[in-house]
Structures are given as C-alpha cells and as structure tokens.
Chains A and B, each alone.
Chain A
C-alpha cells in the first residue's frame, strides 16, 4: 500500500487551493492532480443520489468549431446527427476512426447558428484537437480548454441548488440544453443540463480563474440543501452504477459503438461520417462481441482486467468494476461474445484466482426515480 506519488508534472485546475482547503485527497488522473475524495467515496456517492454533489471537472476539454462549414465538419466527425440540433441543444456522441473504433465520446452543443462546442475527455483532449483540426476543412477550430473551467452539480437537488445560486428559474433548461449569460457571484457562466452520474444535474462553464468564486457561491447556496463536494472516486462509482461508459476503460479505439451499447448514437441515415462504412459492415454481420453489465453474486469485487469466463473458458475481460455504493453489491462491465450477452446469462468472474459467479444484467444498474 504505497503512498500516492504526486508527480511535479501534473497540471492543476484553478480550484486546486479550494480542494486543499476543503481537505480533499488529491491524486493523478489523465495528467491532472484532481480531488479523488473529500469526506469519503461512499458518503459523496450517496449524497449525490439523495441530494446533490459538486465536482470540479475543469480537466475536461472544450473545443469550438465555427463558421459556414462547421455543420459539415461536425457531421463528418461524429456518428450522431448534429443536423437535428437547434441552437442551445446538445447530444452525446462517439467520434470514430475510419475503422469504426471510438476515438472519444463527447457532448456536442450547437452554441450559435454556425457554431458548435465539443466537451471532450481530459485524457484524449490533445489527440481530439489534432483529429478535429485535420478533419475540419474550412471550419474554424479553437481550443478553449485552458481558459474554461467546468463544474458539475449533480443530484435530485441540483436544480434547487443552482436556482438558489443564480436566482434564475431553471425548469425551462431541459436535459441536454445549454444556456449562456447566467451570473453566479457576478461571474458570467454557461449552464448545461448534463452530467455523468445518472442523476439530474448541470455543468457550469466559466472563465478559468473565476472558478473558485463560482464554486464558493454554489457551495454556500447549496449547503442548506445538503450539497457536498465530491471527487473523482464518487464520479466513477456513480457513472458505473448508471451504466455510463468511461473512455479508456469501457470504450477505446479498439471497440465500436455497436459493440458498446451505443448503437443508438449511430445515425446511418444522416449521410457520410467517418467510420460509416466499417460500421455498416459490422451492423450487417452483427458485432461478434458486446459490452455487458453484470452483477456478482457474492462479495468478490470485479476490477478492470479480471477475466470473464463461461464454463471453463475465458471469453472476455472486465473493463470497469466496483462495489456499487447505492445498490450495495459488486457490479461490472466487460466485453463478451455476442452469444453470451443476453440478460440472465451466467458468467464467472476471475477475482484473485477464484471464480465468482455473476449474471448479465440490463444496463443501467441504477435508474433514477422519475419525479
């Protein structure tokens, strides 16, 4: 149990001192020194399910694509259909290689008549930028990541927290919609009704250096409503419980949206896009493997790279696994041959040289109650 080694080369968000002062334990993630936890992963996880949590996700990237050719470029880059977006609306989508492998999973917003915003993963930001520039043609590509901080406020009380912090009625801001020009503590922010926890929630984009002011104002407004700061530890258990993919673990360049449960994001009829031919072939033949969710029967906890077995045969590998704090049982995801991917199929997960019985379950593991 070696102590965490913090490399001097890790980047820090503008909230670094805020996290230190709040007693966060910091750790490395995708080249950044980020808060892993404050009060504890389980306590933060349960706070987000019951009330609300606030996360610093400033390490994520923001890339703008603008100009008369922006829509053409965006449509080429993503598998989902941006032509359906009116200004202020967004969608979730993979970006694929010509072979259909997933380069990244991103949220794309239409920010203006001829403007789009890609919110991308921290670990893929540089590669995404190079790829987007190479594919963008005449559209203008601008990386706003260094000047944009991003906070996430998530949970059933998220709306009440942000209404208290902004004085604005946020009911009209529907899921996957964006609204600019919202003042928090005098800072001009953009609110997006998106998240990565399976709960209702918002993401707040603001100027990099202003994030501590925005954070403090939201924490002050949210305190009486039970808002807690939450770290990347809880973010990971929350997204896994909600059946959401983690890029680099569950989806990679070696996997396609049809193998992952992301077929719904591939709009074959929208016209040409990168990866379309390969994905049409895979759709025709049927994917040979699929990502499934599974629950383990005893208390063995599946972890990334644990073997997935059927009878005595290793058929795949765990891509994500944890003890689910809200459901209170071990859960995981991984790729198995299509024949073994239907709900109810019995699997064995190899946890420390022992076979733990598991069963394929429908994703998500957790679905929030509809209010």
Chain B
C-alpha cells in the first residue's frame, strides 16, 4: 500500500493479491451471496484505490480494508431490505439451505453428527447479534488482533472482548447441548 500511495501503479495488483481472498471470504460468510460478496470486495478495493493518497505510512492496511468492507456491507444490506420491502420480493433461499438435511450419502454416524453440529453452529453464528457476529468473525476467522478489530468496529478493545466473549458463550452452549467438549 505504501508503494501504491507513492504512485507505483503496479502495486495495486500486489495489494489485490494480498487482500482480495481474505475480503472475499469475509464478505461471502457475512452476506452468503457470492455475487454480492464479489461486488462489495470490488467496491472496497476501489475505495482504497481512491483514498490511496491519504494513506498513512505504517498504518495497518487490513483493519482499514475490513472497516470499509463492513461499512459497505451494512449499507448494501440496508438497501436490500428497503428494496425487498418496496418490491415484496420473495426471500432468498439462502436461509432455508442451512436447515435442509445434508447429503444422505455419508453413512458413518460421526460424519453425520459432525455435519449436524456444523449446521447448528453456523445457525447459531447467524443468529448472533450483528456486532457479536462480526467481532467473532474478525477475531477467529480473519485473524485480526483485538486492537484492529476494535478499529474496524469503531469501538474499544474492551467492547470487542465482551462481544467476542458473548459469541463464544453462545457457541459453547451449542457444543454442550450436542455433548461435545466446549
């Protein structure tokens, strides 16, 4: 990013390679819509491209990228809700997919059990309040530090710890119910 801020146009490709897979993964999990995730990832990188001149030397790039992605995602979700209300579109099938039984080809009980558990955990993560869910994803799935996650969420490190802790408690409860060691 430093090279790109100084005017090295070729550095954008390297920036893309470093950030795009993580951003796309984050956005796919959050939106559960591959097309929307790709659009939002593209928009995020274009925002970074437009703001490259104001980049601060040595500033963490990933926290900035995730903050932009999160803001765009929130805006996208809000717009989609308004559109759905306006045009009364049928709900996407994504939600139902999670409840459908997994492929019945697996014979072994433990595989079935693991898949059911995975589905339940995913459902529980989706049911978490947005702030807890994002804190959990940024820390556990994207590997951001507490400080970076706090910056992305625009809050304090203590608040992020609390949100992540509540998410862990909820997920541990699912594991306990399933008889798994939490």
A and B form one complex? no
Residues of chain B having any CB pair with chain A under 8 Å: none
Residues of chain A having any CB pair with chain B under 8 Å: none
